[in-house]
């Protein structure tokens, strides 16, 4: 039996559907596909929108909408980063299925950044202790230094706190992550004492690895 998820909607409920496909085999070797459409029970979040005043400008933070996917991808493409629209469509579906929450920030009506909350982390320590993880914090380069990342973190921590009194994240070790490292320490995050990990695997003494975005240190904060 195979399960396929796709972003079609039931016209009455507007819920994403799950399609179950069963292959029925016959003695002559020919097959028949029986398709049954079932509604997936989804965890729906309350409508979420926060408006933060920054000088003469409002920053609006809200959950990812399907219409945001193209806008976000283009925003990063304009600064030379490759973040395909399919990535954000996948995020949107994961949010619909209750696996993630994606918070999107708009500054003066323009997309400027986002982050994700993952309820079940792939990082071993967080997974073992059922610690939700804040990850993938991205603010467009030309809008950095305005406090937008901090406001995204504020709202993310509030959402996590509604479910747990502890939150985790991982931060990269390369030079570009210096500002993020300082921000997380100033926000009260402490290292998880598990050392360096690469792609969810802890490194051992004398072990060689690659220095890229997957080389991280885990951090934890009591909310």
Same domain, 11 and 109: no
Collect the ranges in the chain with pLDDT lower than 50: 1-45
- Look at residue 56 in the predicted model and tell me its pLDDT: 67
Q: Rounded distance, CA 174 to CA 213, Å?
A: 8
User: Which tokens sit at 146?
Assistant: 């305005």
pLDDT of 32 reads: 44
On whether both 103 and 165 belong to a single domain, the answer is yes
Establish if 44 belongs to a structural domain: no
pLDDT at 58: 85
Say what the pLDDT of residue 123 is: 97
18 and 101 within one domain:
no
Domain shared by 32 and 65, yes or no: no
One domain, residues 58 and 25: no
Residue 192, number of CB atoms within 10 A of its CB: 19
Q: Are residues 135 and 206 in the same domain?
A: yes
Give Cα 9 distance to the centre of its chain: 23
Give yes or no: residues 121 and 172 share one domain: yes
Torsion sign (Cα): 9, 12, 15, 19: negative
69, 14: one domain: no
Domain count, the chain: 2
Q: Are residues 141 and 180 in the same domain?
A: yes
In a domain, residue 11? The reply is: yes
Residues 23 and 88 reside in one and the same domain: no
Range of the domain at 25: 2-39
- Indicate yes or no: pTM above 0.85: no
153 assigned to some structural domain: yes
Q: Are residues 175 and 208 in the same domain?
A: yes
Q: Can you tell me the distance from the alpha carbon of 170 to that of 220, in angstroms, rounded to the nearest whole number?
A: 9
pLDDT at res. 81: 94
């Amino acid at each position: 039996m195979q399960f396929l998820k796709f972003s079609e909607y039931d016209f009455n409920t507007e819920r994403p559907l799950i399609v179950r496909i069963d292959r029925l085999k016959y003695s002559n070797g020919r097959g028949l596909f029986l398709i049954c459409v079932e509604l997936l029970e989804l965890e729906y979040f309350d409508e979420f929108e926060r408006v933060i005043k920054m000088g003469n400008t409002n920053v609006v933070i809200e959950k990812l909408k399907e219409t945001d996917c193209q806008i976000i991808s283009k925003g990063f493409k304009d600064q030379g980063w490759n973040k395909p629209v399919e990535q954000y469509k996948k995020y949107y579906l994961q949010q619909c299925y209750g696996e993630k929450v994606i918070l999107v920030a708009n500054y003066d009506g323009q997309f400027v950044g986002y982050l994700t909350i993952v309820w079940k982390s792939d990082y071993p320590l967080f997974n073992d202790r059922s610690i939700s993880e804040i990850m993938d914090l991205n603010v467009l380069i030309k809008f950095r230094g305005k406090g937008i990342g901090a406001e995204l973190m504020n709202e993310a921590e509030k959402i996590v706190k509604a479910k747990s009194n502890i939150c985790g994240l991982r931060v990269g070790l390369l030079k570009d992550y210096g500002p993020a490292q300082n921000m997380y320490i100033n926000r009260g995050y402490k290292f998880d004492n598990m050392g360096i990990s690469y792609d969810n695997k802890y490194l051992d003494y004398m072990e060689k690895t690659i220095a890229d975005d997957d080389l991280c240190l885990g951090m934890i904060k009591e909310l």
